[in-house]
């Protein structure tokens, strides 16, 4: 869109020009992009690499000429794994730095912390990590997996391929594991699993003493039924958890663990022996064999000047989200949030698995689902992949308060929680 000026503004510019004074800039010289990831604290093990990939994407886009003829400028802040600080930093990015969009957060508690800020100030957040669903905000684009794009397919794989009958749902004590496990518990029971065959456990962030918990898992798995652990443990607590499994002699062949927050970055630099054979469910692995992925890995390792630097799933989500934002801005002809929100629905960009991911009307994207087995080199052998792309389901079909809700941010609905039975928007907040 071309800028339009009032006659008074044009006259004012003419006076400046006639007097030989410098003409003031009508707009910022750059388009600012916010990067909101923990670079310190318990989540730095996972989030620092997301900051780095965003810097690479901004640099690459600037080499292409930027966006709308302007260079992009990355504004990096460190919310330090402090959930209230995420909200403060988000507010600073939107009000002080005037960023056009923010790429950030990892834990759902950090996303929940910033959500009111983005809705109040009409900012744009691209959230790149798997989450529990049960949310659809007009101001958030969920480029990580919803439960039906990760958690439920992982359980199906274990039940079908590993013949698992007993389930340990182990998670860090915050909203993502608790809500995901609530969905999984309902899903398992809908498949005939009895309550006594489900063990649920939560531990705080940074938990280090796993001896008694792993002993409980071992005891639970000794009942004569095939047992598996579904792990929503986040951050650096994963390291002592897997180490303790090894200490107590629990092998992947005995009690397999499928993790939703352990990827290549978390495996880098640690002893992978206790993890060999255990599983992870993601929508991307570095070991994906496509020309797109090979090109990305080369660019990433050149950017970081480290030929051993790994890639992972949330990085790919940022690649997808960033490219969708660029395409939507160019389509709208402006970085104005309302215009971008309208233009981004239906935008599709290449993913790194050899296909295209699209932004759906519920602000979730289409993704393949992959199950990978940990190898001794810290990579994953892909043992299962969906034949096509899966559409992210924002409201779970397995929870009574959610099963009748849908989200569609297109006019005229423009609703994140439309009840198909009552025909009304609302009844459950985002």
pLDDT tens track for 399-410: 999 999 999 999
Q: Is the pLDDT of residue 11 over 50?
A: no
Q: What confidence score (pLDDT) does residue 249 get?
A: 92
**pLDDT mean over 126-137:** 96
Q: What confidence score (pLDDT) does residue 345 get?
A: 98
Q: What confidence score (pLDDT) does residue 426 get?
A: 86
Secondary element (H or E) of residue 224: none
Per-residue confidence band for 23, with pLDDT thresholds at 50, 70 and 90: very low
Using DSSP's 3-state secondary structure scheme, residue 257 falls into strand
Q: Is the pLDDT of residue 107 over 60?
A: yes
Using DSSP's 3-state secondary structure scheme, residue 184 falls into helix
**Percent share of the chain, pLDDT over 90:** 86
Find out whether 102 and 90 touch, Cβ atoms under 8 Å: yes
Q: Is the pLDDT of residue 212 over 50?
A: yes
Query: pLDDT by residue (tens digit) across 292-315?
Result: 999 999 999 999 999 999 999 999
Q: What confidence score (pLDDT) does residue 427 get?
A: 56
Q: Is the pLDDT of residue 258 over 90?
A: yes
Q: What confidence score (pLDDT) does residue 126 get?
A: 98
CATH 3.40.50.2300 holds for 148-288+373-391: yes
CATH of domain 30-145+291-366: 3.40.50.2300
Closest to 56 measured CA to CA, from 284, 267, 301: 301
Average of per-residue pLDDT values in the chain:
91
Q: Bridge-partner residues for 133, per DSSP? A: none
Domains 30-145+291-366 and 148-288+373-391 share a fold: yes
Q: What confidence score (pLDDT) does residue 270 get?
A: 76
Find out whether 378 and 264 touch, Cβ atoms under 8 Å: yes
Tokens of 131: 């989450």
Q: What confidence score (pLDDT) does residue 253 get?
A: 93
Lowest mean pLDDT among 14-23, 75-84, 197-206, 252-261: 14-23
Q: Where are the domains of the chain?
A: 30-145+291-366, 148-288+373-391
Tell me whether the omega of the peptide bond preceding residue 333 falls within 30 degrees of 0, making it cis. Answer: no
Long-range contacts of residues 300-309, Cβ cutoff 8 Å, at least 24 apart? 300/53, 300/56, 303/52, 303/55, 303/56, 303/59, 304/52, 304/56, 308/268
Per-residue confidence band for 428, with pLDDT thresholds at 50, 70 and 90: low
């Amino acid at each position: 869109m071309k800028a339009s000026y009032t006659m008074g503004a044009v006259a004012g510019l003419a006076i400046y020009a006639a007097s030989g004074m410098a003409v003031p800039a009508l707009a910022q010289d750059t388009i600012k992009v916010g990067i909101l990831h923990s670079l310190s604290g318990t989540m730095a093990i996972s989030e620092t690499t997301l900051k780095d990939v965003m810097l690479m994407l901004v640099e690459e886009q600037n080499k292409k000429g930027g966006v709308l003829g302007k260079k992009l400028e990355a504004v990096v802040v460190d919310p330090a794994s402090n959930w209230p600080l995420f909200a403060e930093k988000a507010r600073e990015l939107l009000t002080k730095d005037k960023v056009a969009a923010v790429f950030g957060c990892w834990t759902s508690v950090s996303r929940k912390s910033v959500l009111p800020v983005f809705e109040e100030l009409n900012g744009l957040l691209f959230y790149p990590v798997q989450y529990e669903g049960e949310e659809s905000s007009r101001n958030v684009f969920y480029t990580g997996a919803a439960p039906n794009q990760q958690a439920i397919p992982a359980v199906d794989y274990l039940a079908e391929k590993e013949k698992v009958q007993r389930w340990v749902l182990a998670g860090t004590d915050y909203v993502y594991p608790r809500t995901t496990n609530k969905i999984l518990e309902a899903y398992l029971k809908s498949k005939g699993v009895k309550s006594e065959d489900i063990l649920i456990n939560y531990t705080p962030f940074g938990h280090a003493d796993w001896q008694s918990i792993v002993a409980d898992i071992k005891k639970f798995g000794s009942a004569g039924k095939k047992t598996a652990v579904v792990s929503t443990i986040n951050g650096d607590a994963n390291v002592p958890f897997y180490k303790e499994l090894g200490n107590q002699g629990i092998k992947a062949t005995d009690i397999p663990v499928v993790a939703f927050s352990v990827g290549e970055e978390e495996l880098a630099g640690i002893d992978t022996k206790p993890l060999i054979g255990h599983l992870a469910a993601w929508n991307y692995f570095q070991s994906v064999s496509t020309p797109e992925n090979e090109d990305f890995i080369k660019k990433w390792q050149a950017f970081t000047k480290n030929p051993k630097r790994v890639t992972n799933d949330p990085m790919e989500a940022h690649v997808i989200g960033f490219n969708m934002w660029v395409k939507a801005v160019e389509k709208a002809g402006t970085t104005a949030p309302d215009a971008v929100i309208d233009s981004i629905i239906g935008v599709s960009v290449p993913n790194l698995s050899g296909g295209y991911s699209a932004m759906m009307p519920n602000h979730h994207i289409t993704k393949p689902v992959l199950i990978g087995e940990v190898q001794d080199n810290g990579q994953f052998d892909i043992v299962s992949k969906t034949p096509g792309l899966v559409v992210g389901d924002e409201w779970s079909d397995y929870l009574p308060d959610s099963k009748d809700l849908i989200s569609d941010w297109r006019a005229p609905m423009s609703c994140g929680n439309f009840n198909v039975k009552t025909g009304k928007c609302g009844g459950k907040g985002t």
